[in-house]
Amino acid sequence: MKIVLLGAPGAGKGTQAKKLIDKYGIPQISTGDILRQAVADQTQLGKEAKSYMDSGGLVPDSVVIGLVKERLSQADCKKGFILDGFPRNTAQAETLDGVLASVGMPLEVALSVDVDFDVLLKRLTGRRTCKSKDCGQMYNVYFSASKKDGVCDKCGTELYQRDDDKEETIKKRLDVYKAQTEPLIDYYTKKGILKRVEGVGDINEIFNKICSILK
Ligand code: AP5
Ligand code: MG
């Protein structure tokens, strides 16, 4: 299964990707997670990406495309993958098509998780994420809080709030989504692989709808 998850910031791409990993045994490739890890590790990539991320803008295509190509070449992607947060604009989508065509693994589905913008602000300001690289479980103080405040239910690691989940940065991210990423809905519609799912409601019910779409 070769899937791209589309959707605005806070639509639930990461939340659903984690569940898809368990069900299909294929890896999630989240460019946001890779970039945040690089920022935390203070690598050259992280230093380069940080200011773009903090402002809510996109990291340059050259940087992100290189990361994704490298990740897709790893052995665990042979059976398939879930791209989360990539592509983010038409140039990235065209490059991805080229890379996948060259290895004979075209995309099968681009799945858009649709949520109204007024819901997204609350989701993003309330988001808390497990600090453990191996877990990364997401919670929400308004909708799905951890049992113990600030601690992951799954692995007991501390939870953190993302630097870009501040109200003014969220607004910029939503503007960038509208201007640059939303046009990909048309892009994949024209390719005949777009599917859509309503991303509001119970997380497990949304996941069940996604599984029926992917069948
Ligand atoms: P990235 O990490 O990709 O962030 P994003 O697209 O803004 O999306 P989010 O991760 O914020 O939302 P999500 O859809 O994963 O929602 P989640 O499941 O967490 O990118 C961050 C930055 O990195 C970008 O701004 C950019 O600078 C850079 N970047 C990344 N990729 C790039 C690229 N390709 N090119 C250039 N730059 C790039 O859910 C959100 C919250 O809602 C959670 O608290 C969750 O628990 C809750 N929730 C989920 N589902 C539900 C539900 N059904 N009901 C109630 N609550 C829910
Ligand atoms: Mg995410």
The answer to whether residue 52 sits within a structural domain is yes
What range does the domain containing 199 cover? Answer: 2-115+181-214
Residue 125 located in a structural domain: no
pLDDT for position 118? 87
Is the CB of residue 160 below 6 angstroms from any atom belonging to ligand 1? Answer: no
Residues around the ion ligand 2 (C-beta < 5 A): 14
Positions of the chain with pLDDT lower than 70, given as ranges: none
pLDDT score of 185 = 98
The CATH number for 8's domain is 3.40.50.300
- Is residue 146 one of the residues assigned to a domain? no
In a domain, 96, yes or no: yes
The total number of structural domains that make up the chain: 1
Task: Decide: 152 in ligand 1 pocket, CB within 6 A.
Answer: no
Whether residue 127 is contained in a domain is answered as: no
Residue type (1 letter), 157: T
Whether residue 58 is annotated as binding a ligand: the answer is yes
Q: Atom 27 of ligand 1 has which residue's CA nearest to it?
A: 53
Q: Does the predicted model carry a pTM greater than 0.75? A: yes
Q: Residue 180, annotated ligand binder?
A: no
Could you report the per-residue pLDDT of 152-204, keeping only the tens digit for each?
999 999 999 999 999 999 999 999 999 999 999 999 999 999 999 999 999 99
On whether residue 161 sits in a domain, the answer given is: no
* 83 is a domain residue: yes
Residue 106, domain member (yes or no): yes
